[in-house]
């Protein structure tokens, strides 16, 4: 025990002797780790052969001032599809989601509900975690900003900013928006009138939310000192933000509106948050607090460079809604640049879901409950709809009628119908079709040129399917990737209708004719096998069921197996006979009004 105390004391003395600070505060959990952190920053730049890091994707952490709606579900599903795609490709992948639980909006919501803020956060964080679980988000951590390790990470980040001279104390005055949790410059403020009450108020041009004039003393982050570095980064990384229009907005903001950032609030106005180290009269600004969660997950601040990299940092993709673009693409990179930490590789800034072309909001009473939607249409149908119709560049309007249409056209009438046509027919055995299809060789003497020509044309489309889907996924466009798969299924339905393999399978037909018919069936089977493999990130349950019905072995469901003719062992369902007879991949949709 005495040795342990002596060792701890030496580390503490070594820490304190290496820095000059106006205060004596040192993060409790990081007292022994500064030398590791400093060396880790050097290692990021000097390691010549770092281990291949996991693919790390994040959702925004969701604010707990209200219950989740389908817009939150969309962010989750987008991130989940990106993670599952990387896993399909054989790369270790990580996903972090969670809740943002500090700040004025939470404090006010708890006060309105007459419950302590922590109780409010516990109750609402549970709803978001339940949504992640119900939506089958394969997250590796559900992080909360009230978690002890995150609180310590934020304090340590603050300490480092201060040590590097990026924090100063000053009087601040300006237009503050509680809804957006930020100050806006004068150029971003306009007079508005409420369409229902007629009230005239000052509002953010960007969001339309009400602002109020605030004068207070707080701490500031020298963000303007990083203006040139930010602009250089944007210039050198033009594809950093998807879609490209986001980059235009961000560059314009930095060039014309960048100011030093107020990063604390007086405790008397905002008490629900992380206190500024050694100054409990101030509370750390919620966005500084929230953004650091991405580093907390990766092991900051105790991790070395290798450990942070093993934890996923830098993030490969931040999935966010377009309304928080500035926080993630101006504030966040500026904070990271201040500490010479690696920046996230890309940001996917998706558009909103609207109802009657108005952004969903609980306060407006137009938020769609995701739990009810899943109960009504099924999880995979909702995941399919979210990805296929959700907007990246442009908002998407939510309609139950469109969900029903997509279900009937693409799922029940498309994929489900195609599967039934080749696996449930009484005129042939699907396993025999797989065997025969792999051994069939065309002979012009048999007069089946039509069969061969049709198969070749269909094969040519299938040969590029996986590569085309992968190209869209690399572009962070899951909707386009999914559309490519559904097009292949649609083409296969047309193919089977045109070539009519059942006509070759009649008892009166000769063995060569029957062989030709089995060849056609096999080609449709290959479409289903490839599509089933590629659909796994989008519709985990239904894709698994599809591959089970086809009899594709679990170890042959990876991206490298999404190649024509690479699997000759499938064709016999792995489901129990009775269960298979009773199952339909997409049964008729029963929707009550």
Residue 494's domain comprises 400-582
Q: In what order do the strands lie in the sheet with 396-397?
A: 358-359, 353-355, 396-397
Q: Is residue 379 part of a domain?
A: no
Specify the pLDDT at position 190.
Answer: 77
End-to-end C-alpha distance for the chain, whole angstroms: 70
| Cα separation, 457 vs 500, whole angstroms | 16
The answer on 559 and 473 residing in a single domain is: yes
Q: What is the total count of domains within the chain? A: 2
**Residue after which a domain boundary falls, among 350, 376, 409:** 350
Examine the domain organization and report whether 471 and 330 are in the same domain: no
Confidence of residue 181 (pLDDT cuts 50, 70, 90): low
Residue 226 CB contacts under 8 Å (≥ 6 apart), including other chains: 334, 337, 338
CATH number at 455 reads 1.10.730.10
Rounded to whole angstroms, the Cα distance separating 259 from 265 reads: 17
* Co-location of 334 and 406 in the same domain: no
249 within some domain: yes
How big is the CA angle at 177 (ends 176 and 182), to the nearest 5 degrees?
A: 75
**CB pairs under 8 A, 24+ apart, for 460-468?**
461/488, 461/491, 462/488, 462/523, 462/526, 462/527, 462/530, 462/564, 463/564, 465/530, 465/531, 465/534, 465/562, 466/530, 466/534, 466/559, 466/562, 466/563
Are 117 and 252 part of one and the same domain?
yes
On the question of pLDDT at 9 being above 90, the answer is: no
Residue 119 lies in a domain: yes
Task: Indicate the pairing of strand 317-321 with strand 347-350.
Answer: parallel
User: Does the pLDDT value for residue 42 go beyond 50?
Assistant: no
Does 252 fall in a domain?
Answer: yes
Q: Is residue 148 part of a domain?
A: yes
In 3D, which of 569, 424, 429 has the Cα closest to residue 505? 429
* Residue 49 shares a structural domain with residue 108: yes
Q: Give the pairing of strands 167-177 and 212-221.
A: antiparallel
Q: Long-range CB contacts (< 8 A, 24+ apart) of 236-245?
A: 239/346, 240/329, 240/345, 240/346, 240/347, 241/325, 241/329, 241/346, 241/347, 241/349, 242/346, 242/347, 242/348, 242/349, 242/392, 242/475, 242/476, 242/477, 243/349, 243/392, 243/393, 245/393
Mean pLDDT of 185-195: 71
Max Cα-Cα span within the chain:
96
Question: What pLDDT score was predicted for residue 480?
Answer: 98
Between the alpha carbon of residue 382 and those of residues 21, 324, 368, 374, the distances in Å are 54, 25, 12, 6
Residue holding tokens 């490969």? 316
Whether residue 167 has pLDDT greater than 70: yes
Judge if 207 and 90 occupy the same domain.
yes
Least confident of 82-86, 107-111, 296-300: 107-111
Q: Tell me the average pLDDT across 17-35.
A: 36
Q: Sorting pLDDT into bands at 50, 70 and 90, what band is 456?
A: confident
Q: pTM, whole model, 2 decimals?
A: 0.85
pLDDT recorded at residue 178: 61
Split at pLDDT 50, 70, 90, the class of 189 is low
Any domain includes 382: no
CATH at residue 279: 3.40.50.620
Span 407-450, pLDDT tens digits: 999 999 999 999 999 998 888 999 999 998 877 544 444 444 55
* Residue 371 within a domain: no
Does 394 fall in a domain?
no
Query: How confident is the model over 473-509, as pLDDT tens digits?
Result: 999 999 999 999 999 999 999 999 999 999 988 888 8
pLDDT per residue over 251-303, tens digit each? 999 999 999 999 999 999 999 999 999 999 999 999 999 999 999 999 999 98
């Amino acid at each position: 025990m005495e040795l342990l105390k002596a060792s701890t004391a030496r580390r503490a003395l070594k820490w304190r002797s290496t820095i000059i600070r106006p205060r004596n505060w040192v993060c409790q959990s990081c007292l022994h780790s500064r030398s590791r952190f400093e060396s880790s920053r050097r290692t990021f730049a000097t390691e010549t052969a770092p281990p291949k890091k996991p693919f790390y994707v994040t959702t925004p952490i969701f604010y707990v001032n209200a219950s989740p709606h389908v817009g939150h579900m969309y962010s989750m599903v987008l991130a989940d599809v990106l993670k599952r795609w990387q896993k399909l490709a054989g790369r270790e992948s990580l996903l972090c989601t969670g809740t943002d639980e500090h700040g004025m909006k939470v404090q006010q919501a708890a006060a309105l509900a007459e419950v302590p803020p922590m109780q409010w956060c516990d109750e609402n964080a549970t709803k978001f975690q339940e949504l992640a679980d119900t939506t089958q988000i394969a997250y590796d951590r559900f992080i909360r900003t009230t978690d002890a390790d995150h609180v310590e990470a934020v304090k340590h980040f603050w300490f480092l900013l201060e040590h590097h001279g990026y924090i100063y104390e000053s009087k601040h005055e300006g237009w503050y928006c509680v809804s957006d949790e930020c100050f806006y410059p004068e150029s971003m403020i306009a007079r508005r009138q409420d369409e229902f009450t007629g009230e005239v108020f000052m509002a953010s041009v960007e969001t339309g939310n009400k602002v109020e004039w605030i004068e207070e003393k707080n701490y500031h982050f020298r963000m303007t000192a990083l203006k040139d570095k930010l602009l250089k980064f944007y210039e050198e990384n033009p594809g950093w933000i998807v879609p490209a229009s986001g980059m235009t907005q961000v560059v314009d903001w930095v060039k014309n509106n960048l100011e030093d950032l107020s990063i604390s609030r007086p405790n008397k106005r905002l008490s629900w948050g992380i206190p500024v180290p050694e100054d409990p009269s101030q509370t750390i600004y919620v966005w500084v607090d929230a953004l650091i969660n991405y580093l907390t997950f990766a092991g900051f601040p105790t991790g070395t460079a290798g450990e942070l990299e093993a934890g996923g940092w830098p993030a490969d993709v931040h999935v966010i809604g377009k309304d928080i673009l500035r926080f993630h693409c101006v504030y966040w990179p500026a904070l990271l640049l201040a500490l010479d930490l690696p920046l996230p590789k890309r940001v996917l800034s998706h558009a909103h879901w609207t109802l009657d072309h108005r952004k969903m909001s609980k306060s407006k009473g137009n938020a769609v409950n995701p739990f009810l939607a899943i109960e009504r249409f099924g999880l995979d149908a909702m995941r399919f709809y979210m990805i296929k119709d959700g907007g990246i560049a442009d908002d998407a309007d939510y309609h139950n009628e469109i969900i029903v249409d997509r279900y009937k056209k693409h799922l029940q009438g498309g994929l489900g119908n195609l599967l039934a046509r080749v696996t449930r027919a009484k005129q042939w055995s699907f396993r025999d079709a797989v065997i025969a299809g792999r051994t069939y060789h065309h002979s012009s003497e048999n007069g089946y040129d039509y069969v061969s020509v049709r198969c070749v044309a269909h094969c040519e489309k299938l040969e590029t399917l996986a590569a085309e889907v992968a190209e869209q996924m690399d572009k962070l466009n899951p909707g386009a990737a999914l559309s490519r798969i559904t097009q292949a299924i649609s083409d296969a339905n047309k193919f089977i209708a045109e070539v009519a393999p059942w006509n070759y399978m009649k008892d009166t037909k000769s063995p060569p004719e029957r062989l030709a018919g089995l060849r056609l069936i096999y080609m449709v089977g290959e479409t289903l096998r490839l599509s089933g493999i590629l659909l796994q990130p989008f519709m985990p349950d239904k894709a698994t069921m599809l591959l089970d019905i086809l009899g594709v072995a679990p170890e042959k469901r990876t991206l490298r197996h999404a190649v024509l003719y690479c699997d000759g062992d499938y064709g016999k369902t792995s489901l129990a006979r009775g269960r298979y007879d009773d199952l339909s991949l997409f049964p008729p949709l029963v929707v009550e009004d």
